[in-house]
């Protein structure tokens, strides 16, 4: 064991996903120093395929952070989505129903690439391939993060640690047993997602309820489709050769007179579905953000948007702390985030429950799903409720 090299920063950020990178960027713009530590390689982080729907508030935040140039050029503004059930498609006019709000379809992977480029151009510390990240003294106001990088061991002294290290990261695990409470719901299904080299067959996203299971048509670019089918939670990719995926997509999304164009499958993966919240989102000098403290099922695409909202609130609190030396804003962090977190938890659970085939095929539940879907497409009030949640509700 060599000597521990000493480093110092104001905010130690663990994890270079959207939460950690956006936080670093927002702090940098306000003159607060941070060091970002990521255990994966840059290449890995930049090629991990994730969701791709940005709420208006997320778009505004990326603009404010000065990382929206490519998103403005390449992202696609969507003013509606479609719901399909009982062999019919119905449009939910998001913008008309929400006083002009819309969403932008732009891959989380692309957001991450833009944030990494911005961080590297500004010269802010961002270390990939770090090992053995360990937190200590988080109960004090001088927390430390030790880690290994390039064969050397470091100790980073901070004022604040931001745990932006996703569900499996070490930050939440550093909180003493019993200090956090978890609230959880598992679902008896998962999504099998593909990225396919084919122009999207529809201009807007299609969420389909079908007796064979849920399917979703989404997109990344004019040449790239992103498609999902409901599968079993412990399903194996080996059970899903490309032909079976296309057959199920055709079946679940198909309509007379409409054709789903097929193309080369570039990427394939299974996304588990769960709802999970840890409260509070802070302990001592450690502040958790994004997937490190809450998970939503992907129906409704809230994960990335929640992560961005957390770090917006956290950045404001940190800046206020350095300006006033008062911890008041930091103390209110968790409470301010959790209201929005729980609203998104409810929406994601509701969309998920309404659209997926129940595992036991319970006919009563299926009748309820169809009744709710019919209500949404026939009641202005119900459609407006879905739309305002989908585009994102105001901050508080």
According to CB under 6 A, which one of 13, 19, 208, 317 is a site residue for ligand APR?
19
Residues in contact with ligand APR, counted by CB under 6 A, come to a total of 28
According to CB under 6 A, which one of 12, 163, 166, 284 is a site residue for ligand APR?
166
Torsion of CA 344, 57, 313, 154, to 10 degrees: 100
Q: Is 298 a catalytic residue?
A: yes
The owner of tokens 């061991």 is 153
Residue 179: CB partners within 8 Å, gap ≥ 6?
Answer: 283
The answer to the question of residue 304 lying near ligand APR (CB under 6 A) is yes
Q: Which does 163 bind (CB under 5 to 8 A by kind): ligand APR, ligand PHB, none?
A: none
Choose between 83 and 115: whose C-beta lies nearer to ligand APR. 115
Nearest-approach distance from CB 386 to ligand PHB, in angstroms = 12
Residue 39: CB partners within 8 Å, gap ≥ 6?
Answer: 129, 130, 131, 133
The answer to the question of residue 53 lying near ligand PHB (CB under 6 A) is yes
Q: Which of 294, 302, 309, 312 is catalytic?
A: 302
- CA gap 133, 109 in Å, rounded: 24
The answer to the question of residue 298 lying near ligand PHB (CB under 6 A) is yes
The answer to the question of residue 52 lying near ligand PHB (CB under 6 A) is yes
Nearest-approach distance from CB 300 to ligand APR, in angstroms = 11
The answer to the question of residue 300 lying near ligand APR (CB under 6 A) is no
Choose between 38 and 204: whose C-beta lies nearer to ligand APR. 38
Choose between 218 and 248: whose C-beta lies nearer to ligand PHB. 218
Q: Which does 307 bind (CB under 5 to 8 A by kind): ligand PHB, ligand APR, none?
A: ligand APR
The answer to the question of residue 51 lying near ligand PHB (CB under 6 A) is yes
The answer to the question of residue 300 lying near ligand PHB (CB under 6 A) is yes
Choose between 39 and 159: whose C-beta lies nearer to ligand APR. 39
The answer to the question of residue 169 lying near ligand APR (CB under 6 A) is yes
According to CB under 6 A, which one of 75, 80, 163, 170 is a site residue for ligand APR?
170
SS3 track for the chain: CCCEEEEECCEEEECCCHHHHHHHHHHHHCCCCEEEECCCCHHHHHHCCCCCEECHHHHHHHHHCCCCHHHHHHCEEECCEEEEECCEEEEECHHHHCCCCCEEECCHHHHHHHHHHHHHHHCCCEECCCEEEEEECCCCCCCEEEEEECCEEEEEECCEEEECCCCCCCCHHHCCCCCCEEEEEECCCEEEEEEEECCCCCCCCEEECCCCCCEEEEEEECCEEEEEEEECCCCCHHHCCHHHHHHHHHHHHCECCECCCCCEEEEEEEECCEEEEEECCEECCEEECHHHCEECCCCCCCHHHHHHHHHHHHHHHHHHHHHHCCCHHHHCHHHHHHHHHHHHHHHHHHHHHHHCCCCCCCHHHHHHHHHHHHHHHHCHHHHHHHHHHHHCCCCC
Q: Is 113 a catalytic residue?
A: no
According to CB under 6 A, which one of 118, 160, 281, 301 is a site residue for ligand PHB?
301
According to CB under 6 A, which one of 58, 109, 230, 299 is a site residue for ligand PHB?
299
Site string for ligand APR, 126-145 (x = CB under 6 A): ----x--x------------
Site string for ligand APR, 25-64 (x = CB under 6 A): ------------xxxx----x----xx-------------
Choose between 226 and 356: whose C-beta lies nearer to ligand PHB. 226
Q: Which of 18, 101, 106, 207 is catalytic?
A: 207
The answer to the question of residue 190 lying near ligand APR (CB under 6 A) is no
Residues in contact with ligand PHB by CB under 6 A are 51-53, 205, 218, 226, 298-301
Catalytic residues: 78, 207, 298, 302, 390
């Amino acid at each position: 064991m060599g000597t521990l090299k000493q480093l110092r920063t104001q905010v130690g950020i663990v994890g270079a996903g959207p939460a950690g990178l956006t936080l670093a960027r927002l702090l940098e713009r306000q003159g607060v120093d941070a060091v970002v530590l990521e255990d994966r390689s840059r290449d890995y982080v930049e090629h991990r395929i994730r969701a791709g729907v940005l709420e208006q508030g997320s778009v505004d935040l990326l603009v404010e952070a000065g990382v929206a140039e490519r998103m403005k050029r390449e992202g696609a503004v969507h003013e509606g989505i479609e719901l399909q059930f009982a062999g019919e498609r119905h449009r939910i006019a998001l913008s008309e129903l929400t006083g002009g709000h819309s969403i932008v379809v732009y891959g989380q992977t692309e957001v991450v690439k833009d944030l990494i480029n911005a961080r590297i151009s500004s010269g802010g510390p961002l270390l990939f391939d770090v090992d053995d990240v360990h937190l200590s003294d988080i109960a004090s106001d001088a927390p430390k993060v030790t880690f290994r990088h390039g064969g050397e061991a470091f100790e980073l002294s901070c004022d604040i640690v931001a745990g932006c290290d996703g569900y499996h990261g070490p930050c939440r695990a550093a909180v003493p047993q019993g200090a956090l409470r978890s609230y959880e719901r598992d679902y008896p299904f998962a999504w099998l997602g593909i990225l396919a080299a084919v122009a999207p067959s529809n201009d807007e996203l299609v969420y389909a309820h079908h007796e064979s299971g849920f399917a979703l048509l989404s997109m990344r670019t004019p040449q790239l489709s992103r498609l999902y089918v409901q599968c079993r939670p412990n399903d194996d990719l080996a059970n899903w050769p490309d032909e079976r995926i296309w057959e199920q997509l055709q079946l679940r999304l198909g309509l007379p007179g409409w054709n789903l164009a097929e193309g080369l499958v570039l990427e394939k993966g299974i996304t588990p579905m769960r709802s999970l919240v840890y409260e509070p989102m802070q302990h001592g000098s450690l502040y958790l953000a994004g997937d490190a403290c809450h998970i939503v099922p992907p129906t409704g695409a809230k994960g990335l948007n929640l992560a961005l909202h957390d770090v917006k609130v956290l950045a404001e609190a940190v800046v206020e702390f350095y300006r006033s030396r008062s911890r008041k804003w930091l103390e209110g962090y968790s409470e301010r985030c959790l209201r929005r977190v729980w609203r998104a938890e409810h929406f994601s659970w509701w969309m998920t429950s309404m659209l997926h085939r129940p595992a036991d095929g319970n006919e009563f539940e299926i009748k309820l799903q169809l009744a709710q879907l019919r209500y949404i497409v026939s009641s202005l009030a119900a459609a407006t409720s879905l739309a305002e949640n989908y585009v994102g509700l105001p901050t508080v």
